[in-house]
Amino acid sequence: MEAAASRKRAYSIIVPTYNERLNVALIVYLIFKHLPDVNFEIIIVDDGSPDGTQDIVKQLQQVYGEDFVLLRARPRKLGLGTAYLHGLKHASGEFVIIMDADLSHHPKYLPSFIRKQKETGADIVTGTRYVKNGGVHGWNLMRKLTSRGANVLAQTLLQPGASDLTGSFRLYKRDVLEDLISSCVSKGYVFQMEMIVRATRKGYHIEEVPITFVDRVFGISKLGGSEIVEYLKGLVYLLLTT
């Protein structure tokens, strides 16, 4: 934590990775491109990728500097919530942005997140596909219907106070993120939904910005049938416990 304090940044961008060798350099480049006047750091939390992702990140550190691109690796896949916690240990920012490395979350939206938080004082700013000017690109009809149906079901049962429950492109006040992670028990696909539901129950101020979610450019999608089953189980759990 002393090292984090000595390089104090306004924003810490945590990017969990697993087998993102083909994407990580481009996502880092685009973050720097779209935040030219922002004091930030990028924290890459890699879960032991066998494809050489960490080697690429080390090369990026030589380009951008180790104070701006931090590699905080773990030995194996240990879950999304713990990846954020691991990144938080090394974060110096008052605000924390979480985003995927697979280019489904375009860094061009980052200024909108930051602007919205400054204008509203929000505790959380979340990207949403389900409002005007938001959307999805690259999904077939079945996947769009599955995603929309899952979201409508969750909206109806949980009344979460946000239009897009399963998205993971968000800005948090640091202490809010720490509080929510410590409250959540879900893993995988359900984790993001539980974060927003518990934020609403705790009375945190949530704002939204429209984003277009783009299906991953390189690599293989990690969403499958087992994740959909886990989502339905998680929905029942949250219905009973929040």
DSSP 8-state assignment for residue 218: S
Give the DSSP letter string of 142-202: HHHHHHHHHHHHHHHHH--SSS-SS---EEEEHHHHHHHHHH----GGGHHHHHHHHHHHT
Return the higher-pLDDT residue of 25 and 217.
25
Model pLDDT, residue 228: 63
This prediction has a pTM of: 0.83
**What residues contact 92, with CB distance under 8 A and at least 6 apart?**
4, 5, 7, 8, 9, 12, 41
Residue 143 has pLDDT above 70, yes or no: no
Return the higher-pLDDT residue of 175 and 138.
175
Most confident of 15-29, 128-142, 162-176, 224-238: 15-29
Determine phi and psi for 58, rounding to 5 degrees.
Answer: -65, -35
- 173-198 pLDDT, tens per residue? 999 999 998 888 776 667 888 888 89
CATH architecture entry for 7-101: Alpha-Beta Complex (3.90)
Q: Band of the pLDDT at 2, cuts 50, 70, 90?
A: very low
Break the chain into its structural domains and give their ranges.
7-101, 125-168+175-241
Query: Which token pair is 160?
Result: 């979460």
Among 96-100, 159-163, 173-177, 182-186, which is the least confidently predicted range? 159-163
Q: What is the mean pLDDT of residues 208-219?
A: 74
Q: What is the mean pLDDT of residues 41-68?
A: 96
Determine phi and psi for 93, rounding to 5 degrees.
Answer: -80, 150
